Amino acid sequence: MKKKFILFILLLIQLYINYKNWFIESKIWSSLEYKFATVFSIILIFVLLLLLVKKSIFIKLRENALYAKMFKEFNKGYGGKIAVIILALIFYAAFMAPFIAPYSPTEIDYSNMTYSAPSLEHWFGTDDFGRDMFSRVLYGARIALGVGFAAVLVNASLGVSLGLLAGYYGGKVDMIIMRLVEIWNSIPFILLALAIISALGTGIFNIIIAVGVTGLINFSRLTRSVVFQIKEKEYVSAAKALGASDLRILYNHILPNSISSLIVLSTLRIGISILVVAGLSFLGLGIQPPTAAWGTMLNRGQEYLIQAPWMSVFPGLAIIITVLSFNLLGDALRDALDPRQLD
Amino acid sequence: MFAYIIKRLLWLIPVVIGVSLILFGIMQLVPGNPAAIMLGTNVTPEAIAALNEKFGFNEPFHIRYFLMLKNFLTGELDSIYYGDQVINIIGRRLTATIELGLLSLIIAVLVAIPTGVIAAVKKNSLFDLMSMFIATIGISVPAFFTGIIFIYIFSVYFPILPSSGYGGRIWTLSGLRHLILPAFALSTVMIASTSRITRSSMLDTMKEDYLVTARSKGVAEKIIILKHAFRNALIPIITNIGNQLAMMFGGAILIESVFAWPGVGRLAVKAVESRDQPLVFGSILILSILFVLVNLLVDVIYVFINPRISYK
């Protein structure tokens, strides 16, 4: 009963936010960020309604033996649960930023173009252009998550393909690929990203590429070791005997077996990617102002550290909390999914 | 074992060639004619042609690569922004980076390993819980943010240490005072991760049977922990330190920028900002070679500590 009550309150809040934005401020479909927010809130309302009215759909999921075991392991520690709640909030902030942010993140307040301390009007204070820090931190979540996820996606697809090739074919192919990856890895990853940015220039797309192609070694080593374990199993030989092609074996037998380790590694890599992107933006070589990114805000904030410490503290805390949540989630998932495969 | 070390030293050659090739390859992605970029606006076509001739920009890829490498090593490669030889500019700043890196490595080891050992020995004590809580947060804090916080606390709020700049060599008082904040800020991530690993690795070895044997023989608890448990726990710890080095090298660039530390990392950032391709090439190449050398050192230490594995 208590759970239903909380769900009901959440639904009411969500409906109120949508009512206010859709009907009073008519922010529905006029720009890309509104489209995202609208679609996200419709899905959210739908899920909340389902949870309230027809919970049985979700119970079926829980009855699945595999999920049940995972849930049980996952629920053992507090870290994972806390991380899930915080990450849900951060995701919510990222998608709903245009609906819940009290001010525009980039609009300069010409009547008050100076920093001001946190107050009731501006919860996190304002920066040196009079822009609301709370709105900027909210909008920063979408950059951090978006770039983080995209970079890890690039990273994983490259690393996994290399690892699959090296592990499956073995021998000389394995040696050549792994040596090349090792050499690639002997450039510390921020430096490699710097070199790529110096060639391609700054901008979100280039950052994703730069961060995505560094640190391939983690994914390729992991995939390679899983492939080595599975390659010798009977069902792979059976599939081979039946005439399955190499590609088919890789994607139908070997990839599904390595997916749980990959999820754990990806979760941990997202945290690292967010840190690297923040670092690059802090150096002024990542995401460029006026886009509200946490690293960029810290870069600006350092200049005003003495007069306006809130300009540094809040974006910094946002980075720490996000990365910490991804790390905690990764640790909890590792315990739940595969206690032995990762070190 | 010496055969192993020599083999690792020989492996350095393809690594250095590979790294320089990668960096050179990345630099080729820069759009436009490099000579025109180097000279800036308002140049005559003759000047561009002369520079093209001088640096061999019209030659094919592999010849340009060898020219670049040769010019870099003989000191003929000039920085665009500083107008000086790349290798000299880097050489002047290398000591500052090495001082910073070495001191933070020493701090990290001296703080993290005792913390981890005590946390493992006194498992579930207040010290254990507190230190591991801090360490869990510590691995998620970006190094540059730690630096900013340190500046705020130790230079602004309690003005006891200088907030930025280089004070001289490490053995002078002024040099050390300037070095303390950046070195501590750089070491935090490594302290956090190494103390976590030390703790879990110690807990693993403390379950072993030979510790029970040693205890039943009446060996003092101090010797059991330090000699029997810790020495065996060291292997994963060293591995982790090796893995953390990449993070530390990255952190060094950020920390050098936060504290205006005149090191190679900050030089690399400046070079990227001013689109000074020769300097980007040189500084990143030198830092990567440094990184490979430190990794080699870790591997050699690993061999000394782990006599059970024979390296052939």
Q: Which residue of A has its CA nearest to B264?
A: A191
Does the distance separating the beta carbons of A327 and B139 come in below 8 Å?
A: yes
End-to-end CA distance of chain A: 42
pLDDT interval class at A342 (50, 70, 90) = very low
> Which pLDDT belongs to residue B312?
47
Closest partner CB to A305 (pick from B30, B141, B152): B152
Q: Which residue of B has its CA nearest to A343?
A: B236
Tell me which of A87, A194, A343 to substitute to probe the interface with B (most B C-beta atoms closer than 10 Å).
A194
Residue A75 lies in a domain: no
Residues A288 and A193 in one domain: yes
Residues A182 and A318 in one domain: yes
Residue A327 lies in a domain: yes
State pTM to two decimals.
0.87
| Residue numbers in A near B37 (CB within 8 A) | none
Q: Which residue of B has its CA nearest to A199?
A: B30
Angle between helices A294-303 and A310-337 (to 10 degrees): 150
Residue A97 lies in a domain: no
> Which pLDDT belongs to residue A318?
93
Residue A245 lies in a domain: yes
Residue A90 lies in a domain: no
Closest partner CB to A189 (pick from B139, B250, B254): B250
Q: Which residue of B has its CA nearest to A190?
A: B250
Sign of CA pseudo-dihedral B248, B249, B254, B258? positive
Closest partner CB to A282 (pick from B144, B275, B291): B144
Does the distance separating the beta carbons of B137 and A320 come in below 8 Å?
A: yes
* Alpha carbons A306 and A291: distance in angstroms, whole number: 24
Quote the number of domains for chain A: 2
Evaluate whether A180 touches A172 at the Cβ level (below 8 Å).
no
> Which pLDDT belongs to residue A341?
44
Q: Domain range for residue A190?
A: 133-342
Residue A107 lies in a domain: no
Cα B57 from chain centroid (whole Å): 33
pLDDT in tens, chain B (312 residues): 778 788 888 888 888 888 888 888 888 877 766 666 666 666 777 777 777 776 667 777 788 888 778 877 777 777 777 777 788 888 888 888 888 988 999 999 999 999 999 999 888 889 999 998 899 888 889 888 999 999 989 988 888 888 888 877 777 888 888 999 999 999 998 999 999 999 988 888 888 888 888 888 888 888 888 888 888 888 888 888 887 887 788 888 899 999 989 989 889 888 888 877 888 888 888 888 888 888 888 888 877 777 665 554
Q: Which of A27, A48, A63 is the last residue of a domain?
A: A63
* Residue A327 vs residues A13, A83, B177: alpha-carbon distances, Å: 30, 8, 34
Residues A186 and A325 in one domain: yes
* Alpha carbons B20 and B59: distance in angstroms, whole number: 18
Residues A140 and A280 in one domain: yes
| Residue numbers in A near B23 (CB within 8 A) | 187, 195
Q: Is B253 on the interface with A (CB under 8 A)?
A: yes
Q: What is the CATH number of the domain that holds A283?
A: 1.10.3720.10
Fold of B97-260: MetI-like fold (1.10.3720)
Mean pLDDT of A149-168: 91
- Please report, for chain B, the start and end positions of each structural domain, with discontinuous segments joined by +: 97-260
Residue A104 lies in a domain: no
Closest partner CB to B246 (pick from A188, A199, A285): A188
Residues A189 and A282 in one domain: yes
| Residue numbers in A near B258 (CB within 8 A) | 302
